[in-house]
Structure 1
Amino acid sequence: MGETVSPAVGDRDLRVSDAEREHVGMLLQRAVGLGMLSLGEFTERMDTALAAKTRGELNAVLIDLPGIRLAGQPNSTPRPQYAPPPSAPGSAGNVIRARMSGVTRKGPWQVPPTLYLNNYLSGVTLDFTQAVMSTQVVEVRLDDFCSSLTLILPAEATADLNGVELIGSSANNKVRTGPPMGPLHLVVHGRTRFGSVTAKHPFAAQWRRMMSGF
């Protein structure tokens, strides 16, 4: 009896993971920031990427975007092949990556020296009022799209939002910028597109400060 040989699976038929879909989403966000895609085109392609099951389907949303170097691209043809995403910086504990979701960290959560945020159509709230700090200065590296980031700081904390690149976005700092004198100083930089960044004290602290002015 002859041996049955399964047909070879080409690169375009390989299954893709959630991490690969998210990486393509980051490339599409970059294309919007460079003016290569409109917001409507981005939304349409992002929907296709999130639904993609194979590498060929994922390639389709990138094929006409110039300037993106993709692994596995043969020299004889300009058709791009998807590049697997690089390893995320740091450990899972210092990366917040939300997709069409709401994320809240509050209570005695452990705050690493650096936080990496990459969110799409999401709302993220980081409440530092009861957080356990490992360093006085915390760096927040931001790369968000159509998302809101709310930072709730203790009464004596400070925040610097001057390093945030705003593209169709807003930044509202309701706390002192510095210098770092209290238990926490946040340094936020990176980029947010069509979103918002807000740093503020808890409502009770704002109310007490307002009442003390009377």
Structure 2
Amino acid sequence: MGGPESVSKGVGSGDVVGDRELRVSDAEREHVGELLQRAVGLGMLSLGEFTERMDTALAAKTRGELNAVLIDLPGVRLVGQPAAPPSTFVNAASFMNSAPPFAKRGPVSPVPSPVTPGHVIRGRMSGVSRRGPWQVAPSLHTNNWLSGVTLDFTEAIMSTQVVELHVDDYCSSLTLIVPAEATVDLNALDLIGSTVNNKVRTGPPFGPLHLVVHGRVRFGSVTAKHPLLAQWRKLMGR
């Protein structure tokens, strides 16, 4: 792969062979995930097919492997250009805009909103946790795929009482552990095949932390709760 023979084949056949062997980035895998989600919303894929194709997309190393999960979806495929950014999917924009509001989204842009990197919690088929005296920004973002995420605020260092948490997860579980006097608002979450379990007072804010959670959760779960010791004391009436 990548030797003189493969290069000459690519040139002689319109760069088809060479393009298929090009490595893909996380941004391209994520964009394919967005297209697959829309396909579910249009009824083109079942949830089982979506899961299988997402597994393939996350494991894909080359354009050929990634393109395989889109090959039977009308008008959508990867462009085989070595320097093409993730946005250059044939008819990708029209495909996304023609779909119903599967997640209440507008046209998809491959360029993320400007967010401070340290304020983004991102996992890919991983276990992610924030515990102890970690620094909490006034605004946090989560973007997780097939991951288990725990955010423990009991010893966290916060600069503001109200913390906004924007969630953009799928096939992931998000657990929020907050101090005894904290409040959590999960009412603004947009759920798609997901569950929410709030074991914490919703408001108004009166303690050290008021966590406002909004965004989209697809085929996952969100749980807000107190630490185990605090729950035990509550059950014992102490």
TM-score range, shorter chain: 0.7 to 0.9
- Call closer, same or farther: CA 1:183–1:25 in 2, change over 3 Å: same
Q: 1:158 aligns to what?
A: 183
Q: 1:71 aligns to what?
A: 88
Q: 1:55 aligns to what?
A: 63
Q: Does 1:207 align with 2:224?
A: no
Q: State the SS of the aligned residue for 2:36.
A: helix
Q: State the SS of the aligned residue for 1:115.
A: strand
Residues in 1 aligned to 2:76 and 2:167: alpha-carbon distance in whole angstroms:
21
CA offset at residue 162 of structure 1? 0.5
CA offset at residue 113 of structure 1? 1.6
Q: Does 1:179 align with 2:198?
A: no
**Unaligned 5+ residue runs, structure 2?**
78-86, 96-107
Q: 1:167 aligns to what?
A: 192
Give the TM-score taking structure 1 as reference length.
0.80
Residues in 2 aligned to 1:67 and 1:158: alpha-carbon distance in whole angstroms:
46
- Call closer, same or farther: CA 1:169–1:47 in 2, change over 3 Å: closer
| 8 Å Cα contact 1:33-1:193 kept in structure 2 | no
Corresponding residue pairs, total: 202
Q: 1:17 aligns to what?
A: 25
- Call closer, same or farther: CA 1:188–1:66 in 2, change over 3 Å: farther
Residues in 1 aligned to 2:109 and 2:187: alpha-carbon distance in whole angstroms:
33
**Unaligned 5+ residue runs, structure 1?**
none
Residues in 2 aligned to 1:104 and 1:125: alpha-carbon distance in whole angstroms:
5
Of Structure 1 and Structure 2, which has the larger fraction of its residues in helix? Answer: 2
Residues in 2 aligned to 1:145 and 1:61: alpha-carbon distance in whole angstroms:
18
CA offset at residue 63 of structure 1? 4.2
- Call closer, same or farther: CA 1:91–1:161 in 2, change over 3 Å: same
Q: 1:37 aligns to what?
A: 45
| 8 Å Cα contact 1:163-1:188 kept in structure 2 | yes
Q: State the SS of the aligned residue for 1:14.
A: coil
Q: State the SS of the aligned residue for 1:191.
A: strand
Give the TM-score taking structure 2 as reference length.
0.73
CA offset at residue 30 of structure 1? 4.2
1:111-126 equivalences under 5 Å are 111-126=136-151
Moved more, 170-179 or 136-145: 136-145
